[in-house]
Amino acid sequence: MVDSVDWASAGVDVGKPALARVYDYMLGGELNFPADRAVAERLAEVGPFREMARLNRLFLRRAVRFCVDAGVRQFLDLGSGIPSSGNVHEIAQESDPASRVVYVDQDPVAVAHSEILLAGNPNATILSADLRDTADVITQAETRSLLDFDRPIALFLLGVVQYIPDSGNPAGLISRYMSGLAPGSLLAMTHFTAQNMEVEMAAAVQYFAETAAPITLRSAEQVTALLGDLEPVEPGVVLTAKWHPELGGPPAADPERSGHHAVVARKR
């Protein structure tokens, strides 16, 4: 755990839970504080949120492999969170060391530890930015120096769009990012769903409504609508455990209770 680190002097509010650190705890990480662990434990009381986090992470690995197999060697990972085993750059660079990755997060702990992890890796970097500020992310010097926008890029939005309400126009956000990418670019996205978990997710919605990060659940049809003109690759929008399980990773205890929809879509 990071309790002994003087993060307060670095401007980190250790008494306020952060989504990146809650997720880190659920994945068995150590970069979290009591406030983060309290949120995670409360969620674990109402549903299989640890298993959901694990399945979301496994989807990340499979999606990266899919993108690499499709010839994409550039990644823009929005809301990337705290580094854990099997990060995007690690998976992509196993296949091709020249693969390039730009991570984006606004949590200072996530950014600080990403900087440590990526030190000495010329093909990966972390931006401290709000993913909703598309222009800021796209125009930053680090982004432009590492990614070639004339070639396909894989945009990752894993477990973050549910925190953008309809009033925040998540479809517009996705469109703004994808409109600046070259044809052949890919979008990988996961999103909370109540499918087969109505009671558990209703409790989660109620809990998150009491925090600074309320969530919006969306059906498979609603997630599909967020894609706009993008073309979902087979099998379309499905539960995370059902998205190309043959690409690797241990099986889900119950694929029907994945808690997230998953999709990869292509820009023509």
- What pLDDT does 82 receive? 87
pLDDT tens-digit map of 3-31: 545 555 456 788 888 888 888 999 999 88
28 closest CA partner among 43, 19, 38, 40: 40
* Residue where the block lists tokens 């925190």: 163
Determine the Cα–Cα distance for residues 109 and 11; give it in Å rounded to an integer.
Answer: 10
Domain segments of the chain as ranges: 2-266
Flag whether pLDDT at 1 surpasses 60. no
User: Among 42-46, 124-128, 173-177, whose mean pLDDT is lowest?
Assistant: 42-46
Averaged pLDDT, 169-187:
98
Q: What is the dihedral of CA 64, 66, 72, 77, to 10 degrees?
A: -30
- What pLDDT does 55 receive? 95
pLDDT tens-digit map of 36-77: 899 899 999 989 999 999 999 999 999 999 999 999 999 999
- What pLDDT does 189 receive? 98
130 closest CA partner among 80, 199, 196, 86: 80
pLDDT tens-digit map of 131-163: 999 999 999 999 999 999 999 999 999 999 999
Residues 6 or more apart whose Cβ sits within 8 Å of residue 222: none
Residues 6 or more apart whose Cβ sits within 8 Å of residue 91: 60, 61, 64, 65, 68
CATH of domain 2-266: 3.40.50.150
- What pLDDT does 99 receive? 98
Amino acid at 179: S
